[in-house]
Structures are given as C-alpha cells and as structure tokens.
Amino acid sequence: MLILAELNDDLFIHISVNATRTNRESWGDTQYAEGLARAIRQVSGCDSAVFFRGESPEPTGKRDVVLRIIGPHLEEPVPGLPNMLWIISPPNLAPSAMLARYQAVFSASRYLVDLLRAVNIKAEYMSQATERGHFHPSRRPADAPDIPVAFVGGFAARVDRRTVLYAVEAGFDVHI
C-alpha cells in the first residue's frame, strides 16, 4: 500500500482530468481532482496541481508524477515521467494496450482490477472518496431547480437500502 507521507521529499503529483480548461466547471472530475490536490498539499513535502485534456504538465524539478483520472478521453502517458492511471468512470473506454503504457493502474472496482490483472495489466484497488466540503447540499444555489431523486439497484433481501430510507425520511420523492 502506498503511503504518501512516506514519499514526502519533494513529491509533486500532476493530476489530469478529462475536462478541457474551458469546460472544467461542468465536469465533476475537475472538482474531484481539485479536492485530491488540496489533500495532497496537506502532506508535508508534497505538492500537486491539476491539468486538463490536451495539456501537458510543466515539470517542477521535484519528483514529478502524473496521475490521470480516466474519463471518456484517455490520453497518452507523459514521456519521461512516471504515469499512473485511476479509473473512476467509463472503464469500457480504456483499451488494454493503452492501459499497459502506464506504470500503475488503479480502480475503485475490485472486479475491474481482477479483469485487468487477467490480461497482464498491473492494477491495484484504490477506493474513491469525495470531498465533503465541495459535494454538499449546502452549496446548491437557492434558486436551482429541483432534481428528481432516483435509486437504481438490484434487490437485496439481506440488506435494507438505508440511503433510500434516509432520503424518504428527509422528504424526498424517491423514484425506484
């Protein structure tokens, strides 16, 4: 398991997202990457910056590493730097030949990790978390239109769906 605090001597992680600089506000991956960069900066000796589709990171002279958060447009690894890939969305859009060009591939799906390993892709499980300060109902503009709430999931008699119960208890009209 990679412990960032153990690598804290001048480590700079360049985080890439699929958004372009001009449409970055409309992509959830942008906010996710910005939150991740803030978390990395909290580790002593580490720094981070986000770059966008079609851009290349500017080497800092430190121990530069590229972390691409995959989306529908997977770009080539950055030459001369260690390149890691984190699959958090559309894994079906990532051809195995492209994935093999990365030094490390992470996925929030254990099932996908097993599939990738079966075709000799060096893959590891890394769960996905969300920055609560950004993705929070209090950030929603007061004049924003209501958004229907839908739950999509399989029947599981062994467990109740607490998130659905909480939403109904909070007064949401949940469609199942």
- H/E stretch holding 65: strand 63-70
pLDDT digits (tens, 9 = 90+) for 21-33: 998 877 778 888 9
Of 17, 27, 81, 22, the residue nearest 50 (C-alpha): 17
Select the more confidently predicted residue: 7 or 17.
17
Global pTM reads 0.71
Q: How far is CA 107 from CA 57, 62, 126, in A?
A: 23, 26, 6
Backbone angles phi, psi at 92, to 5 degrees: -70, -10
pLDDT digits (tens, 9 = 90+) for 37-94: 999 999 999 999 999 999 999 999 999 999 999 877 788 999 999 999 998 866 656 7
- 174 bridge partner residues: 149
Cα three-residue angle 98-92-68, rounded to 5 degrees: 50
The residue count for the chain: 176
Contacts 24+ apart (CB under 8 A), 2-5: 4/40, 4/43, 4/46, 5/43, 5/44
Side chain identity, residue 132: R
